[in-house]
Amino acid sequence: MAELLDIRGKLGFGSEISVLGYVIDPESMEVKDSFGWEVSEDVKRAILGILERYSRAEDIGVSGRLVNFRGLLGGSACYGVFYKEVIQPIVRVFGSSPKKLVEAGRRLGCRELSYGDASIELKPLPRVPLVYSVWRGDEELPPSANVLFDSTVTHYLPIEDIEALCEISTWRLCRLASTL
């Protein structure tokens, strides 16, 4: 994990390393929650592992071209887990009140977008933007959601880390929504 010591000032990071409101001390590998919530060992391990792999990538910027999870290399094979752990919780929490997605996202520094009934751009890592969109649904269609990625995302992370980062991002958004 020595790479974390070198990530400050690179790949879009400044002097502080922060992921979804988790602040990481690269010397001690301590992960603190800026909201004051307890950080589980599983989340700590996942974030540190994701950061380690992210730190090895060459900085090619972002393309601005959005793709869905199935459009990512390996995404079709992992889609069942992605749908269950990322899409379903977003629909469950935000499907009946999409604007809560924007409110929760603002607490993580998100930018509101104009897709669906509500959408945000969340940047868990500086070169890994995630676009969350929610549609309320109506008498004919149930609520739905989607997450889109910059087409360069698999340059920065393998599909398993992308899925894990989305799970953590979704959990954070849902937890923040419960405080609104």
pLDDT digits (tens, 9 = 90+) for 92-124: 999 999 999 999 999 999 999 999 999 999 999
Grade residue 1 by pLDDT with cuts at 50, 70 and 90: low
| Closest of 123, 117, 176 to residue 144, by C-alpha | 117
Phi, psi angles (nearest 5°) of residue 94: -110, -10
Q: Alpha-carbon distance 161 to 51, whole Å? A: 10
Q: What's the pLDDT tens digit per position in 25-69?
A: 988 889 999 999 999 999 999 999 999 999 999 999 999 999 999
pLDDT band at 5; cut points 50, 70, 90:
low
Q: What DSSP element (H or E) covers 112?
A: strand 111-113
Q: Which residues pair with 180 in a beta bridge?
A: none
pLDDT for residue 4: 62
Distance CA 136, CA 118 (A): 9
**Which tokens hold the place of 32?**
């603190």
pLDDT in tens, 126-139: 999 999 999 998 89
**What is the pTM for the complete model shown?**
0.94
Tell the residue number behind the tokens 């290399």, with chain if given.
Answer: 73
Domain spans in the chain, listed from the N-terminal domain onward: 2-55, 66-177
